[in-house]
Amino acid sequence: MNKYLDLSPEVSEALAAGKPVVALESTIISHGMPYPQNVETALMVEKTIRDNGAVPATIAVIGGRLKAGLTPAEIEYLGKKGRAVTKASRRDLPVLVARGEDGATTVTTTMIIANLAGIKVFATGGIGGVHRGAETTMDISADLEELAMTPVMVICAGAKSILDLGLTLEYLETKGVPVIGYGTDELPAFYTRKSGFKVDYRIDTPEELAAAFRAKLENAAIDQAIAECSEKGIKGKDTTPFLLARIKDITGGDSLDSNIQLVLNNARLAARTAALL
């Protein structure tokens, strides 16, 4: 899908320079609020991202192109068009691209496009979940499947209380998705702080949150490299050099930086221990 992807100059330059970029969805613009509050809110969210040291990348499908980073004019366009814009989930992307149509991205499609662009953090309002009565209707949001598949951190206010929050947490547990409460032990319910349901882990600082997600990405990179090694039939003494090189490529050099730092850290500890001996 990368050949259908357009990055705004600002987002492209930020990613190339290793600057922090935060993805933002566009259904909040077209379907979440009336005009002009939808446009005003979208621009305020972008300003908030900038004020806190990152580059915003509002994501949408416009004219069949997957967009990561919208201009104010494009945000205005989506805001005015409103519900006439297709609310685009995973199943809709191929058709919208083929037809050259517009789509407002949900949590699912924002994650997909963000991942294609190389953006790892996404801020939104709330995620979809398991609907009440889903044990008979099978009405489960595609957001939950995407959270299990796509390596993008989603910062949200939980799922709306109109959903079955207990089953939503059970579904995420089955899919291996960690649910982390930032500064809380309890799952937020979008409109309310409390839901009565406990999260998997509580984290209280951005540093710890970043460290946890970095560990997840590094483990995913190792799994991908091992799978490629097996597919290529690489064995014996060639295995370790191949895996290290691929992990370095997959992580954009982060694994090499980690390797250097752990060696330096071990050297410091060894020197201090030797001095005490």
Task: For residue range 132-150, list pLDDT tens digits in order.
Answer: 899 899 999 999 999 999 9
Q: Contact, 143 vs 86, CB < 8 A?
A: no
Cα angle for residues 32, 81, 103 (degrees, 5° grid) = 70
Closest Cα to residue 165, out of 138, 137, 198, 135? 198
Supply the pTM of this predicted model: 0.82
**What does the block give as tokens for 152?**
């993008």
Catalytic residues: 25, 160
193: Cβ contacts below 8 Å, ≥ 6 apart: 184, 186
Distances (CA, A) of 13 to 8, 10, 70, 153, 195: 9, 5, 14, 21, 41
Domain residue ranges of the chain, discontinuous segments joined by +? 2-205, 213-276
The superfamily in CATH containing domain 2-205 is: Indigoidine synthase domain (3.40.1790.10)
Cβ neighbors of 157 (< 8 A, separation 6 or more) are 125, 126, 188, 190
For residue range 24-83, list pLDDT tens digits in order: 999 999 998 889 999 999 999 999 999 999 999 999 999 999 999 999 999 999 999 999
